[in-house]
Structure 1
Amino acid sequence: MRRKGILNVKLSRAISEMGHDDIMLVTDAGFQMAHDERVIDLALVPGVPDLFTVLKAIRGEMWVEEFAMIADAKENNPYAWNGVSAIFPDAKAGTKPNEWFHGACYQNAKYIVRTGAWMPWGNVALVSGIPVQEWFANTGAPVPASWEERHRLNVEHGLDGVE
């Protein structure tokens, strides 16, 4: 039996299968979807598990390079926007239109994780990343200029190595 970390077998496996630039879509309870093999349904009752608990668990085991929320979330659900930003302070934060989440994001997501989050605009697209310093350490060269912003965010938030 695992001593710590994510105990849900499907979610643990999904994180292990994420590659650089893959998308994991974490949704609220009301997100419309087909329940296919990509869906990991964690919802139990309204609010359980909540969005932040699920995101914190994922954060502990997956490098997230950037995240996006529905554009309306920033203004209409600042609780969710601020909470997600606090969980992923070293990730690039962005917004996308609601249609993107239900269209291209949904179609291209490697996995979709349904939470019990009981709130509007509680959907987050996580883009899988890499540990920049460790990834480039074997090259014998400094981190390339194209990766400097990502590396700066890692270092600024104390995440320059594997936690």
Structure 2
Amino acid sequence: MKKQGIINRDIAAALASFGHTDLLVIADCGLPIPANIPCVDLSYRIGEPAFMTILEAVLDDFQAEAAFIANEIKHENPAIEAAILQHKEAAYISHEELKDLSKKAKLIIRTGEATPYANIVLRSGVIF
């Protein structure tokens, strides 16, 4: 049994398969999930698990060289924006661009977060 890091077997296996530049999306409960993209749905009720809980766990266990968040978060959800930026520098793109990027993701992790624009695209880096 794993001693540390993400213990969810689906997420742990997926992250172990990521290579440089692969995309991972952590999504609120409202982001459209493309039919052909694998999704680990962690939501179990509105707000749970929280977006930031999952983002923090993933960033502890995943080498992200870049992050992208929706420009709309600045006005619609500044609390989540500030929390994200405490953990990871992020580039701003439109929400439509974020949804387009999610169509290229290797995995989407869906949370129960129910606040606007609480989504992030992480681009996998390398550890060397």
Same topology, TM > 0.5: yes
1:25 aligns with 2:22: no
d(CA) in 1 for partners of 2:110, 2:35: 10
Aligned residues with identical type, % of pairs: 27
What residue identity is the alignment partner of 2:107? Y
Unaligned runs of 5+ in 2: none
The change in CA–CA distance for 1:35 and 1:114 in structure 2 (over 3 A counts) is farther
Look up the match of 1:115: 111
Residue 97 of structure 1: CA displacement? 0.9
What residue identity is the alignment partner of 2:76? N
Q: TM-score, normalised by structure 2?
A: 0.92
Point out the structure with max Rg over C-alpha. Answer: 1
Residue 96 (structure 2) aligned to one of 96, 99, 121: 99
Look up the match of 2:51: 51
Q: TM-score, normalised by structure 1?
A: 0.73
Residue 30 of structure 1: CA displacement? 1.0
Number of aligned residues: 128
Unaligned runs of 5+ in 1: 136-163
**Greater fraction helix:** 1
d(CA) in 1 for partners of 2:117, 2:37: 24
RMSD across aligned positions (CA):
1.5
Q: How does 1:75-154 map to 2 (within 5 A)?
A: 75-88=75-88, 91=89, 93-103=90-100, 105-131=101-127, 135=128
Q: Residue 5 of structure 2 contacts residue 60 of structure 2 at CA under 8 Å; is this kept in 1?
A: yes
